[in-house]
Structure 1
Amino acid sequence: MEYDFDFSFSGELREEETSAYDKEDDISDIVRMYLDEVRRYRLLSSADELTLAKQVELGNEEARQRLIKANLRLVIAVAKRYRRAYKTVTFLDLIQEGNLGLFKAVEKFDWRKGYKFSTYATWWIRQGVTRALTNQSRTIRVPGPMVEMMMKYQRTVRRIRQNTSVMPSLEDIAGEMGISVEKVSAIQAAYHQVLSIDKVIDHEDKQAKKILLGDCIADTSAVSPMEEVSRRLLADKIRSILADIPERYRRILEMRYGLYDAVPGTLTEVGEKFGLTGERVRQILAEMEAKIRLDKRVESLKEWIS
């Protein structure tokens, strides 16, 4: 089933739009705590967005995190509008899928085109939220390495709650796990989706046998949040291996093989970007690939690729 709601949401977000979200009676405690956490991050001006976008393009991780955190309220605003129209999916599910859309927007945003980041991000956030709706009828395939990450996440949350008696923030979990806040949010989305696989699906015949989400036929053409997270983690492992390569050559590799935006570039496109001939790009790639093959860490990628 397709969902095509048009809420005419411009991407503009005012402070008061999120200030009352946690006053609603049907919002769970964990969502209230998340809203409190998100409100700590100030909204950005257009000039701030432009500055951060330029820094993100240069690989500045701190700028990337700032751009993400400042737009988490935008995710909540979009998720709330869909929540009013379709209440079968939890608010938390919508937020988590919207966050994945926000991460994708940060990766793909091109500040040279002149539009605001928040306007651009709204489209990607909507894609994430609508995916949460269509995922109601999809079975879940969990990639092997993702299982380990989800188990580690579960242990970390349990340990922090036992020590502090409160639900840990995204940053608390990220600090304990040694990963970014972005990854924690993505793992949460994947973990929560797995927990929902035994959810009973509503249908008209109340006397009939219960139908579980896990009984439905999988949509093999779609990418689940867990597959998306696994790809991100694999990309991070690859980037750690590339860290020892000179920055210019590393960026050539990333563009050629689509490591940054999952869209591989041709030799000609890469050459035009870096002011090189296609042949010179090919030579650089051959040199760097030979160097990478000698790195012992390459062996650890097999479990992710198999």
Structure 2
Amino acid sequence: MKSSYTVMNREDSLNQSVAYKSTTKNPKFDLSSDNQYYLEIGRYKTLSREESIELFRRYKNGEHNLKEELFNYNAKLVSRIAVIYKHKNPDIEYLELIQEGNIGMLRAIEDYNPELGYSFSTYADWWIRSEIIRFIFKKRSGIFKLPNSVINYNNRYMEIEEEFLTTKNRLPSVEEVANILNEPIENVKRHNNIYRNQIAVSLDTSKHDEAQTLHGCLGANDSTFNNLNEVLLEELDYEIWKIFNKVLNPRQKIVLNYAFGIEDGRMYHYKEIAKVLNRSTERISQLKNEAIDALRNCKYKDKIFTLLNEKIELMGNVKK
């Protein structure tokens, strides 16, 4: 029997979710304490794959009163994922993570298509983790600032992932993302080194072992944030280097590489650059001014000065 899932008014349904969310974030589940919450979700059994698919088919075909039932049966999934992030972020309240995970659960319930062959738990995993990660970033926003270029890329990448999850019930491959973004595959892989391995978690939802899928998380210690900043600096250096290569002549480029820490991660003063290159400080100053003028008059001027300012700010956050 063909599902009427595509006939549903998704916007209306999501609007209902927003209203429902206010009761689902504090539903019949008592979130006043961890123990009480565990007792509440323990009342619901884990559905078999067949039972889950049948319940979702009924929901997608118009039995919208089943939403709360679907949520309750899958609440343990939110709890299990929240525990992982609580372990890595001991300063964040467990029930705060539960609340954010519930938002992801509701989104997954709305977008899941039982006819595409994937289990709901596999599908919901991404949405739950995504909301929890966003929440952790918000909590950590005062500790470090992601460069705009990275933020913009992450947002676009997540939009592509959401589109694939909604239409295909799977995440896109690197090749598919590169094709959509019209970017070389190597560039996408470089971004993923930050977005996936250093910032978020592995989103390999083909594995059900939560410990195995956890590739890394946002810890609260200084070494974690220093490592993250260093990776972000590497990404900024790459973006800056590409523009320097297009705009500057070799002499201008090597002076700015030293001045902005592209050469070896340390910003050199005029005298230091002059000594390394065996030139006078006056000549180094002249080359630097010529290079800055060239950047001010190139088509990448807005982007390059934004990148350079972000690099200077980020270097101040790295503790030696």
Q: TM-score range by the shorter chain?
A: 0.3 to 0.5
TM-score (norm 1): 0.35
- For the pair shown, which has the larger CA radius of gyration, 1 or 2? 2
